[in-house]
Amino acid sequence: NAGVTQTPKFRVLKTGQSMTLLCAQDMNHEYMYWYRQDPGMGLRLIHYSVGEGTTAKGEVPDGYNVSRLKKQNFLLGLESAAPSQTSVYFCASTQQGATEAFFGQGTRLTVV
Amino acid sequence: AQSVAQPEDQVNVAEGNPLTVKCTYSVSGNPYLFWYVQYPNRGLQFLLKYITGDNLVKGSYGFEAEFNKSQTSFHLKKPSALVSDSALYFCAVRESFQKLVFGTGTRLLVSP
């Protein structure tokens, strides 16, 4: 049971390049989330999904897009990377109810 | 909007001494509160949660937290700190669709 798996773990992009971060969970969770972690700011929600085919904006959605074509996968896209998107990105999933969220190990992205 | 605050960026404690990591919350209605821990270069791991019931919640690795409604606090505690407890600790409150709103984090350093 792998839990929540993120790929890649590290990436360096040039300003203006695009990329997709993949999150996969094997726990059959309905809800999935993308957060970014920046020093002194904790984790902030970028986008989330409450089920296959649904997505919604979180606190800091600008510059990102997401898709949830399959229940187990949640993709985060950067169409034109900017240095302000340098961060550590975490994916999480959970089930409806009074349960905790499970987090991936993170993707460290640097935009130069 | 729901929010939590962690007033201390860092807490230093000697091994064997009790530790407290502070968290206060601001919510409408009954709060669902969580503590997560992050070890270096790792994702977040669930420690404990308060949903309802007893004000003293016991969690993983010997940690516990005390919910205080009158002081709107949810402080994390451990009777005897270990060097291995050194990590970054996050308090969080749950919103609709089980989204989490995190505090800014408190770094715990336990010295031998």
* Contact across the interface for A42 and B46, Cβ inside 8 Å: no
Name the average pLDDT for chain B.
Answer: 95
What is d(CA B73, CA B66) in angstroms, rounded to the nearest whole number? 8
* Contact across the interface for B99 and A33, Cβ inside 8 Å: yes
* Contact across the interface for A4 and B32, Cβ inside 8 Å: no
The answer, yes or no, to whether residue B88 has pLDDT greater than 70, is yes
What does the pLDDT read at residue A2?
A: 77
What does the pLDDT read at residue A73?
A: 98
pLDDT tens digit string along B21-54? 999 999 988 899 999 999 988 889 999 999 988 8
* B9 touching chain A per CB within 8 A: yes
What does the pLDDT read at residue A1?
A: 61
* B39 touching chain A per CB within 8 A: no
Tell me which DSSP letter residue B96 carries.
G
Residues in A touching B43 (Cβ below 8 Å):
4, 90, 103-106
Q: Specify the amino acid at residue B35.
A: W
Residues in A touching B104 (Cβ below 8 Å):
40-42
Give every residue of chain A whose pLDDT is below 50, as ranges. Answer: none
What does the pLDDT read at residue A98?
A: 66
C-alpha count within 13 angstroms, C-beta hemisphere, residue A91: 29
The minimal CB distance from A90 to the residues B44, B97, B104 is found for B44
B4's CB contacts (< 8 A; 6+ apart) are B23, B24, B25, B26, B33, B74, B91, B92, B93, B101, B102, B103
Question: Is residue A16 within 8 Å of A81, Cβ to Cβ?
Answer: yes
What does the pLDDT read at residue A82?
A: 97
What is d(CA B73, CA B55) in angstroms, rounded to the nearest whole number? 11
| For testing contact with chain A, the best of B2, B23, B44 (most A CBs within 10 A) | B44
What is d(CA A68, CA B33) in angstroms, rounded to the nearest whole number? 27
Residue with tokens 């005897």: B80
pLDDT tens digit string along B1-25? 899 999 999 999 999 999 999 999 9
Dihedral angle over CA of A51, A53, A54, A57, nearest 10: 120
Question: Is residue B80 within 8 Å of B22, Cβ to Cβ?
Answer: no
What would you report as the CA-atom Rg of chain A, rounded to the nearest whole angstrom? 13
- CA dihedral (A71, A66, B97, A84) positive or negative: positive
CB within 8 Å of chain B, chain A residues 51-110 = 56, 58, 90, 92, 94, 96, 98-106
Cα separations in angstroms, B34 against A38, B47, B91: 20, 8, 6
Report the 10 Å Cβ neighbour count for A88.
18
Residues in B touching A42 (Cβ below 8 Å):
90, 102-105
Total residue length of chain A: 112
